[in-house]
A and B are shown apart, each in its own frame.
Chain A
Amino acid sequence: MKNFAYTRAGTVEAAITMLGQQPNSKFLGGGTNLVDLMRENIEQPDALVDVSGLQSGGISELPDGGISIGASVRNSAVANHRLVRERYPLLAQAILAGASGQIRNMATTGGNLMQRTRCYYFYDEAAQCNKREPGTGCDAVGGFNRMHAILGTSENCIATHPSDMCVAFAALDAMVHVTGSKGERTITFEEFHRLPGNTPNVDTNLGPDELITAIQLPALAMAKNSHYRKVRDRSSYAFALVSVAAALETANGKVRSARVALGGVAHKPWRAHQVERVLTGADANAETFRRAAEAELAAARGFGYNNFKIELAKRTLVSVLSELTESGKAQ
């Protein structure tokens, strides 16, 4: 690992100033992704500004019944919080489906949004990767692409976003609060991460001088009936092949409202708008769920080793929605 200067920020304002004063510098959260990437020479900052100790308000209830999660709150603290477990069970489940106990104790909420793909070609300096070195090509297209994307890909990049937590945030319409040298702003979750297009090296729409300070979840009563299902190659401590985060509200056998997002299928957490469109007002049964899944995956494209993900995503969607129809009746 290349050496670097290290400073610890006491306030958000100080962190932004420290970042601005040091060329080629980065914010450091729990380090679970950045330290690894630096050891592999994928990331080579000259300076790190440690924001992991910033007191960003912890987890608090908002006046409308939603919650705010400070960017430095650790994954395990979010998953264990009473309000998260009661009001947004899919978020607690998504977090607990990711990484290991040790990593969840280290990793921060803001850092989770900023983690980079686990595409093995991105990690392999001997491979061609437009995300790591723009313009060099993509060895995953035509390579071993079992873990790769089927939706929203470009010829330049078929990497997936590795987060579980973010899939739940996408379904919940989370808002990302950020502060930069020009002040504060809010980014919708859907706008936060980017599709690869011609610039797969740019993962998010966060400005180079901006720091995530909090994630806010709007009140959503139907999220009590929600679930996160992760399908992977082994039952624990593995990245998703496909995952589904969903909340469902039914009445008299019909879907009143649905919130659905997919993980493991795209360069960003994939909000399933087609699924939600087909479901709303339709009969809550497996036939509708299959039709909704077909609509969402109609644009999907496999790259050989990941073709199976298209059918797997459809089946996982039907399974989770069927489960939520049953659990919704009991509530």
Chain B
Amino acid sequence: MEHALRNVDTATVTLQINGAPHTLEIEPRVSLLDALREYLGLTGAKKGCNQGACGACTVLVDGERILSCLSLAVQYEGREITTIEGLANGGMHPLQEAFLEYDGFQCGYCTPGQICSAIGMMREFESGLPSAVTGDVSSTAMEFSDEEIKERMSGNLCRCGAYVGICEAIRETYESGARR
């Protein structure tokens, strides 16, 4: 009985984050977002709505963008998790530089989520994934237009309204080929 209770209380979880393993003793209810922020001090991913509406908590798992607030940390054992802290290799990631250049933010709260989301989105586009504005989904011809960027980034809100700069930063980064 005691053993069963202990199992309910916590689990030992090893998460691979930004290239390094981190072993945590956590309750199964701890979200990936809380594991990052409260247990590992990685406060780049932000808690905006905590219900999957704002995208501020977006991180990459095996290169795909997901919402860490709706993820239980225990579900992500053995997966490669990348947060905003892991994007820069020495200096800044090209998309981070583009956000500076094109004023892709004001307060900056949504920015880590926007950047992780945009990196995942550009990979999705390159993989040929259509979107709701692509039109003929049976065709593989797609154009990286503003309309496509807006639709594909609709899961990331910016209360400052820096959307124009965000779109420009993403398009510039995509077109320069420096998207990884």
Binding site for B on A (CB under 8 A): 1-6, 8, 28, 31-32, 35-36, 38-40, 46, 48, 50, 52, 76, 79-80, 85-86, 89, 92-93, 96-97, 99-103, 105-106, 224, 235-237
B154 touching A236 by the CB < 8 A rule? Answer: yes
Of the candidates B67, B129, B151, the one whose C-beta lies within 8 Å of that of A76 is B129
Of the candidates A2, A89, A101, the one whose C-beta lies within 8 Å of that of B137 is A89
Q: A32-B70, A101-B120, A105-B66 are in contact. Are A89 and B138 (CB under 8 A)?
A: yes
> B124 CB to closest chain A CB, in angstroms?
7
Cβ of B65 < 8 Å from any Cβ of A? yes
B117 touching A102 by the CB < 8 A rule? Answer: yes
Q: How far is the CA of A2 from the CA of B126 in the complex (A)?
A: 41
B29 touching A52 by the CB < 8 A rule? Answer: no
- Which of B27, B31, B129 has the most A CB atoms < 10 Å from its CB? B129
Cβ-closest 9 pairs across A and B: A100-B155, A6-B28, A236-B154, A237-B154, A92-B137, A80-B129, A96-B132, A5-B8, A105-B64
A3: chain B residues at CB < 8 Å are 8-9, 27-29
Cβ of B94 < 8 Å from any Cβ of A? no
Cβ of B176 < 8 Å from any Cβ of A? no
Q: How far is the CA of A95 from the CA of B8 in the complex (A)?
A: 36
A101 touching B155 by the CB < 8 A rule? Answer: yes
B52 touching A92 by the CB < 8 A rule? Answer: no
Q: How far is the CA of A224 from the CA of B136 in the complex (A)?
A: 11
- Interface range, B side: 35 or more
A52: chain B residues at CB < 8 Å are 75
Additional 19 contacts, C-beta under 8 A, given A3-B29, A35-B71, A106-B71: A2-B29, A4-B8, A4-B28, A4-B29, A6-B72, A28-B75, A76-B124, A80-B127, A93-B132, A101-B152, A101-B154, A102-B66, A102-B67, A103-B52, A105-B64, A236-B132, A236-B151, A236-B154, A237-B154
Q: Mark B49-91, 1 if CB is under 8 A from A, else 0.
A: 0111001001000001111001110110000000000000000
Q: How far is the CA of A102 from the CA of B114 in the complex (A)?
A: 11
A100: chain B residues at CB < 8 Å are 55, 154-156
Nearest B-chain residue to A106, judged by Cβ: B66
A76: chain B residues at CB < 8 Å are 64, 124, 129
Of the candidates A85, A105, A235, the one whose C-beta lies within 8 Å of that of B138 is A85
A97 touching B132 by the CB < 8 A rule? Answer: yes
A39 touching B50 by the CB < 8 A rule? Answer: yes
Nearest A-chain residue to B127, judged by Cβ: A80
Q: How far is the CA of A103 from the CA of B124 in the complex (A)?
A: 13
- Which of B27, B72, B120 has the most A CB atoms < 10 Å from its CB? B72
Q: Mark B121-144, 1 if CB is under 8 A from A, else 0.
A: 100100111111010111000000
A85: chain B residues at CB < 8 Å are 130, 137-138
Cβ of B160 < 8 Å from any Cβ of A? no
Nearest A-chain residue to B147, judged by Cβ: A235
Cβ of B7 < 8 Å from any Cβ of A? yes
A38: chain B residues at CB < 8 Å are 29
Nearest A-chain residue to B67, judged by Cβ: A102
Q: Mark B142-165, 1 if CB is under 8 A from A, else 0.
A: 000000001111111000000000
B156: chain A residues at CB < 8 Å are 100
Q: Offer 23 A-B interface pairs, CB within 8 angstroms, sorted by A.
A: A4-B29, A28-B75, A32-B52, A32-B70, A35-B31, A38-B29, A40-B51, A48-B28, A50-B75, A80-B127, A80-B128, A89-B138, A92-B130, A96-B130, A100-B155, A101-B121, A102-B155, A103-B70, A103-B155, A105-B66, A105-B120, A236-B154, A237-B154
Q: How far is the CA of A31 from the CA of B154 in the complex (A)?
A: 20
Cβ of B11 < 8 Å from any Cβ of A? yes
A79 touching B129 by the CB < 8 A rule? Answer: yes
Q: A6-B74, A35-B72 are in contact. Are A1 and B132 (CB under 8 A)?
A: no
